[in-house]
Amino acid sequence: MLCVRLFPGEGGGASSTKALEVLYHNDLDAVVYYQGSAEVAALYYQAFQLGEMRLVAEVARRHQAGKPENSLYVVSDCDETLLDNSDFNAWLMETGRDYHDTTWSEWCQARRARATPGAVDFCKFVVEHGASMIYVSSRFEADRQATADNLRALGFPLERSGPDPNDTQLYLTNMLLEGKKSKKKQQFAHLLARFGADPLLQLGDNLSDHEAERYSYKVEASQRKTSAEQDARRWGDDWIVFPNPIYGAWRSSLKRSDEEPPAAFQAAPVRSPLTEAPKMSLLSKWSG
Ligand SMILES: [Mg+2]
């Protein structure tokens, strides 16, 4: 949501022209941090390096045990795990738009996402070590070709990107599984059957990338945190998480917890807005 304030124009007076100035946007700090901080880049490199260490250890263990590697696969979410779409979020702020299926699809079709730090090298590493690389995304089936084009242009290893669930590396929202539209929960179950094993690693910026139900945006925020605590041994083991302060199920869950905020909170600005707007100049932005 954009927060705006009307300022009197030159000359003052009730009839003078009003200037509409964008003062603050809820996503502004998040996108500045995501695009501009070395810390975010370091967190991505750290997460991918951890993934590589886990993969090397598992391949060595299987080699010693004489086990075949054909069931070894890595599942990764795409957006804000492998793909950086923050130019889209900057464009939303600059143009006063909100996220919508239509604007999102428009962005996907533009094929302008960038790779997150270390992502391409990690995915190549997975393939070079004999594991299958599986991409799971909440992008729409209608954006399959554009998503595949974007991934390939960035150098991600993606040989099979068609809609056949038994012969593809790319699983998208509403793709057909046994004739029915599917989401992540069904797709994870399908992958388990297809490979005959759990994935070695699941990578994602949103915990529903690791388990769809307990970390759904429909689950209340405190319950999601309780689940994260219960899963403490999995983070950094088979589940690897990436930083995304811009959007996610965490945000929807918080909204559900805050459906009736106190009146005083509703009336007060979150912070002084005048210091925030100039940060837009720091951002890399899509031009639409
Ligand atoms: Mg994501």
Residue 71: give the domain boundaries.
42-272
Residue 18 lies in a domain: no
pLDDT, one tens digit per residue, over 197-233 is 999 999 999 999 999 899 998 999 999 999 999 999 9
Q: What is the CATH number of the domain that holds 150?
A: 3.40.50.1000
Distance 24 CA to ligand 1 centre (A): 25
Q: Give me the number of domains the chain comprises.
A: 1
Residue 98 lies in a domain: yes
Of 265 and 149, which is predicted with more confidence?
149
| pLDDT of 74 over the 90 cut | yes
In order of 32, 94, 137, the CA distances from 91 in angstroms are: 13, 5, 22
Structure tokens at 35: 């695009």
Residue 33 lies in a domain: no
Residue 4 lies in a domain: no
Residue 244 lies in a domain: yes
Distance 190 CA to ligand 1 centre (A): 20
pLDDT, one tens digit per residue, over 134-159 is 999 999 999 999 999 999 999 999 99
Distance 79 CA to ligand 1 centre (A): 4
pLDDT, one tens digit per residue, over 164-204 is 999 999 999 999 999 999 999 999 999 999 999 999 999 99
Phi-psi region for residue 236, left (φ > 0), alpha (ψ -120 to 50) or beta?
Answer: left
Q: How does residue 246 score in pLDDT terms, banded at 50, 70 and 90?
A: very high
Distance 8 CA to ligand 1 centre (A): 42
Residue 11 lies in a domain: no
Distance 118 CA to ligand 1 centre (A): 16
Distance 80 CA to ligand 1 centre (A): 5
Q: How does residue 28 score in pLDDT terms, banded at 50, 70 and 90?
A: confident
